[in-house]
Amino acid sequence: MKPFSEMNLDTSLVEALKRMNFINSTEVQEQVIPVALQGKDVIVRAKTGTGKTAAFLIPIRQMGANGNDTEALIIVPTRELALQIAEVANKLRHGSGRSAVVVYGGASINVQMQALSRNPNIVIGTPGRIIDLMERRALNLNKIRFLVLDEADTMFDMGFIEDIEFILSQTPKTKQTLLFSATMPEKIITVARRHMRDISIIKVGSDDELVVTKIKHYYTIVDNRLKFAALLAYIKQYNPKKAIIFVQTKFAASALYDEMRRQGFDVAEIHGGLTQAKREHSLREFKTSKRFLIATNVAARGIDISGISDIISFDIPDDPHTYIHRVGRSARMDADGRSFTIASTSQIENVKDLEYIANVHMEKIGLDTSPFQHIALFRNRSRERFSGSGGYDNRGRGYDNRPGNGFRPIKRNENRGYRNNWGNKRRGGRKDSRRY
């Protein structure tokens, strides 16, 4: 790949990249950066883990002014992704005097308003909190020159399409827009045509290649009650160096975390039921010392940690596109990786859907679960009952752990324990901004 030193970048920027051990560009960086430096709007379809963050931060750093205006807005689906982009942006700022601020729900809005009052050059945030700050007149988008939509398909799947269109409508028409997505559904193209101009479309990899090719895909079929035994058997047989284990709900994440700790594993957890401080602490632990991270889909979106060898789907995803984003956490920057999916006997068709939509071959493997079948994932405690097809946790919330349901919370009209509610609906169904 082309060295950054040959891409007509400022010397200080090349030096900052060298300090980050970025010497040669990746394929997506080599294709996107020259086009972006021409001032064109760009739509980029590229697999997760290919170096997209630097592909938009480098042009912003190269072309940005050193004034006191907020001129770049980067919109992302989750706070974890926002924090990681900010980390890279602050490393690239060396010698430029440019500053970046992160805004997201779940943290003090007053602290974020104070940070914005210092006129940072770059704002990185989630849609809900960006709109909250706009409504409070703390964030002015009148002088935005660069706008980035990262993981656009994820944001649209999460229901943020109207929020994003509202934000776009409040920015200058002369801005440069860079849109990045692992998949390219029609709704993304529709929004792009309404809000972008002089568009260059860049596709990294073949049209049917949605997942990094260096990932090997495995699955096993077990009875639902033996899923934890299958997980332990996989760990024993394949000995993953560093793995993210995905579940469907924060309740399942907490239960799996507790049991893996009892089994003596170095494990961290990240899900919507934790405070932001705890989530950040868990990520730091996973980066530096922990071997396993138990995560829900939304909480793990955008996690960019090197050295992840395995992605384990303890709960098979409801949407095949979620699988694409999950496995993108492994085999980053041309490394090798494995994906392992635990499916119940009723989910064979789901596995076939994953293969078809993600265009991958999933190899079925046999595992010896007999040494672990005596270990129960959910242990009996006061007011807890996890046998059969459901139960209650220690706060009286209901679970449905029938095959295929991924230990999902039961809605109030199904059981008396828990009402499945994302929170306040605002502006056409936007999820409660405090959570994002």
Q: What is the pLDDT of residues 231-250, one digit of tens each?
A: 999 999 999 999 999 999 99
End-to-end CA distance of the chain: 36
Instruction: Name which residue leads in pLDDT, 404 or 115.
Output: 115
pLDDT of residue 412: 36
| pLDDT, mean of residues 188-204 | 88
pLDDT of residue 272: 83
Mean pLDDT throughout 358-369? 90
Percentage of the residues of the chain whose pLDDT score is greater than 90: 50
How far apart (Å, rounded) are the C-alpha atoms in residues 318 and 288?
31
Task: Specify whether the CB–CB gap between 54 and 22 falls below 8 A.
Answer: yes
Q: Residue range 193-222: average pLDDT?
A: 79
- Could you count the other beta carbons within 10 Å of the beta carbon of residue 11? 9
The 3-state DSSP composition of the chain as helix, strand, coil percent (nearest 5) reads: 40, 20, 45
What is d(CA 249, CA 399) in angstroms, rounded to the nearest whole number?
Answer: 10
Q: For residue 332, what pLDDT is reported?
A: 52
User: In Å, what is the CA distance from 342 to each residue of 38, 209, 299, 301?
Assistant: 47, 23, 20, 20
Taken in order of first residue, the domains within the chain and their CATH numbers are 4-203 (3.40.50.300), 215-367 (3.40.50.300)
Task: Among 77-86, 320-329, 392-401, name the one with the lowest average pLDDT.
Answer: 392-401
Chain length of the chain: 436
In 10 A of CB 24, how many CB atoms?
13
> How much is the pLDDT for 299?
56
pLDDT value for 430: 46
Question: Per-residue pLDDT for 146 more than 80?
Answer: yes
Query: Is the pLDDT higher at 167 or at 159?
Result: 167
Rg (CA), the chain: 22
Taking residues 351-360, report their average pLDDT: 84
Question: Are 84 and 302 within 8 A, CB to CB?
Answer: yes
pLDDT category of residue 96 using cuts at 50, 70 and 90? low
Q: Name 6's Cβ contacts closer than 8 Å, sequence gap at least 6.
A: none
422: confidence class by pLDDT, cuts 50, 70, 90: very low
Q: How far is it, in rounded angstroms, from Cα 154 to Cα 321? A: 9
Distances (CA, A) of 286 to 212, 244, 256, 294, 306: 23, 9, 16, 10, 11
pLDDT beyond 70 at 390? no
User: So what's the pLDDT on residue 50?
Assistant: 76
67, 143 contact by CB (below 8 A) = no
For position 356, what pLDDT does the model report?
A: 83
Give the residues across from 296 on adjacent strands. Answer: 247
Rounded to the nearest integer, the mean pLDDT of the chain is 81
Q: Check residue 169 and give its pLDDT.
A: 94
Q: How far is CA 350 from the centre of its chain?
A: 22
Q: Higher pLDDT residue, 273 or 415?
A: 273
For 17-72, what is each residue's pLDDT tens digit?
Answer: 999 989 999 999 999 999 999 999 999 988 766 788 999 999 999 998 766 789 99
Dist. CA 246–CA 269, nearest whole Å: 10
Band of residue 99 on the pLDDT scale cut at 50, 70, 90: confident
3-state secondary structure of 199: strand
The pLDDT of 103-110, averaged and rounded, is 91
Lowest mean pLDDT among 146-150, 171-175, 286-290, 388-392: 388-392
- φ and ψ of 124, to 5 deg: -120, 125
Residue 325: predicted pLDDT: 76
Assess whether pLDDT exceeds 50 at residue 432.
Answer: no
- Select the more confidently predicted residue: 418 or 159: 159
Confidence of residue 421 (pLDDT cuts 50, 70, 90): very low
Higher pLDDT, 322 or 28: 28
Query: 371 to each of 229, 232, 255, 351, 387, how far by Cα in Å?
Result: 8, 9, 21, 26, 21
Residue 378: predicted pLDDT? 60
Q: What is the C-alpha separation between 290 and 294, in angstroms, rounded?
A: 11
Nearest to 333 by CA among 36, 17, 45, 47: 47
Q: What confidence tier does 203 reach under pLDDT thresholds 50, 70, 90?
A: confident
The pLDDT of residue 86 is 92
Distance from C-alpha of 354 to C-alpha of 240, rounded to nearest angstrom: 22
The residue written with tokens 């010392």 in the block is 289
pLDDT at position 186, please?
A: 82
Q: How confident is the model at residue 300 (pLDDT cuts 50, 70, 90)?
A: low
Q: How far apart are CA 191 and CA 40, in angstroms?
A: 17
